[in-house]
Amino acid sequence: MVIHRRHAQLLKIAGEKGIKFSDVEGDDINYLDQLDKMGLIELDEEGVFAPTYSGALLTETIESAPEFGGLPLEEWDEDFRFIGSEIISMLHTAYLAQGRTGAIFEKELAERGFSSDGKLTPIAYSVIELFEKAHPRLVISRELADYLRKMPPGPGYRKHLPAGKHLLLELEGMRLLSFSIPRSDIYSLSGLGQQLRAAIIHSAPAYEVIIDERILKAFLNGNYRDLPEFDKLVAMAFVKPDGELLTAGRHLIPAARIYFEGPITVNPSVDLQLFDICALKCLEELEAKEEIPTEKAVTDLIKKNFKLENINVRKHLYRLVAARLADICFGGDEECFRLTDWGREACEDQKRERPIPAHAVKSITLTRMEYTAPEYEWFIKGEKAGLTGNGYPSKSGLLYARIASNARRIPFIDGTAASALRLIPLTRGIYVEELRALWKEKDDLDDVLSGLDAALVVDLLPGGALILTEVGKLIKRAIQGCPESTQYPVTPALALLVSRLGDHLEKGTEFTEALKKTEKELGFPSKYVENLVLAARRCRYLSARNLTQNGKYLREATKLLAEIREIWEEVAV
C-alpha cells in the first residue's frame, strides 16, 4: 500500500461525490488504477469509483492527522509518502512493542500523526486495521511483466531500480514491492513479487494480461486445465499441452498460496560465528581422516589448526547440532559429532571463511514477507558476508536461506542465552537498546540475540525491536525453574529426551519402561541417558516419575521447532 498526495485527493473526491470513469483525464487514471488494486476504491456497475471500507477509513485518517501533529493534506509534497511499505513496517514493529515507537523511526511516524510522545496514536491503529482489511487486487499486465523482467528482485539499492514511477507505485500498491525502514533506501520484491517475477521470466508473455487472480486461483486449486483460457496458459509456457506444469507454472503455486492464504510470516535465519566455523571445519577434517570426532578431538584440532585456546568447544558443537549442521553420534559411550549434509554444504561455502550473522541471512528471508525490506545495516551485513550483491541473493545467500528455511532445528540454550531470555518480556516486544541497558553479562548482547534469532527463539524486527516467538515463549517458561548457574539449561540431546519420553508417558507407559523405549529410539547409550535424566531433574523438567509442567513446555517447544518450515519455491533468476 502506498499513498501519495494525488492518491489522497482522489480518494477524498471519490468519497464525497464519486468519480465517473468516463470523466477521468490524464495521469489520474494511473492513480485510480493503483487505488483500485490496493483495495481502497472499486468501480460500481454504473462506472463510478467509490471508496471501500478501508478507503473510507483512510480518508478519515488523513483528515484527522493534523489533530495528532501530522501534516495536513494541503501541505504534502507531491511525492510525500503518507503511507508506504516502510511506514507499515514501522507500525507493525511498534504495535508488537505494545505501541511504543523506536528511536530509529519516531520522526517519520510523528510527522504523519502516527506517533506522539513515543506511543502510537489512535489513527496509527486505524492504518493497521485498514491495511489488514484491504485485500489488493492482482493484475499483471504485459507492461508490468516487462518491468519485472528487467528489475533485480532485491534486496538492492533503490537508486538502481529501473525508471518507471507508476509501475513502481503499482507494484508497491499490490504488495509486490517493499522499501526499508526508515528512509526507503533499500528495496526488495516481496515473497509474492519474487514468485511472480520468476514465473514471468520463465514464461512467454503472449497476451496483454499475463497473470490475474483467476489464473492464480486455478493453480492453487489444481483445476487450471478447466480454464477457458487453458490454451493461453500453454502459449505462455506455464504448462505443457498435456497439463504438466512447467517452471513458470510451478512458481505460480506458492504465489497463489501467499495471495489467497496469507503472507509468509516466518523469518528464519542462520548464525555462524567464527568459532562455529572452526568447529565445523575440524569435524570435516576428522571425517576425512576417519578419526572419532569427540569433543576432545575437535578441541585438539582447533588448538593445532587455529592456534586458539580457552574456547568453549562444546557450546559451538551444540550450536551446530541445534542448527542441523551436525548430529550427535557415539563412539562407545562417548558423545561424538558428525556433519550433516547441510553442514558439508556450509563447509564448502566456508572455504572463504567469514562469519554469517543472522541479520545477513534475514536480509534475504525477510523479503519474503508482505511489506518488509531489510534495514540498510542488515543489507550491508548481507553484502559483507557475500550473501547478496547487485540486487540478487548470491549462491551463498541462497544456500543459507535454504538451510534457514528447511532445517529441522533442535533447541539449545546456554546460560548466557538463558540470561537474555529472562530479560525479554513474555508477551510484548522490547527494543534492543532497552535490553542493552539491562544486560550484565560479559558476552556481546548482539551476538547472543543473533544466535537466539537463528534458533527461532526470538524474532529480530526492522527498527531495532525483538519479540519472543511461540517457541521462545515456551522455552522461557520451561527454563524458569532452572538454576541460574546452569551452564546449559537446554542441550539438543536433553530436549530430544524430554520430548520423546513425554510421548511415551502421555500414552500411559510406566516411567522405567518409557525411559527404555526412549533410549532405544534415540540410540543413546544407557550411561548417557542416565546423565541426561539427572540433568533434566536438576533443571526441573522431570519429577520422580513424570514430566513437570516446565518439562511439558520444553517438549512442546521441541516439537514445534521441528515442524517450522517456510514453504518456498527457490528463485534462482
* 339-356 residue pLDDT tens: 999 999 999 999 999 999
What confidence score (pLDDT) does residue 566 get? 75
List, in order of start, the domains of the chain with CATH numbers. 5-133 (no CATH), 139-261 (no CATH), 274-349 (1.10.10.10), 414-428+435-444+467-573 (no CATH)
What phi and psi, each to the nearest 5 degrees, are found at residue 430?
-140, 145
> What length does the chain have?
573
What confidence score (pLDDT) does residue 265 get? 85
CB distance 565 to 406 below 8 Å: yes
- Per-residue model confidence as pLDDT tens digits over 497-543: 999 999 999 999 999 999 999 999 999 999 999 999 999 999 999 99
Question: How far is Cα of residue 93 from the mean position of the Cα atoms in its chain?
Answer: 13
* Range 534-542, long-range pairs (CB < 8 A, 24+ positions): 535/491, 535/494, 536/494, 536/497, 536/498, 538/483, 538/486, 539/479, 539/481, 539/482, 539/483, 539/486, 539/489, 539/490, 539/494, 540/481, 540/482, 541/478, 541/494, 541/498, 542/498, 542/501
What confidence score (pLDDT) does residue 209 get? 82
What confidence score (pLDDT) does residue 24 get? 96
Q: Which residues contact 292 (CB under 8 A, 6 or more apart)?
A: 286, 331, 334, 336
- Per-residue model confidence as pLDDT tens digits over 453-469: 999 999 999 999 999 99
CB distance 362 to 374 below 8 Å: yes
Q: What does the block give as the cell for 519? A: 533410549
In 328-338, which positions are buried (b, 16+ CB within 10 angstroms) versus exposed (e)? beeeeeebbbe
CA distance 450 to 156: 22
What confidence score (pLDDT) does residue 570 get? 79
CA distance 422 to 108: 32
pTM score of the predicted model: 0.94
Q: Which residues of the chain have pLDDT under 50?
A: none
Give residue for cell 510421548: 503
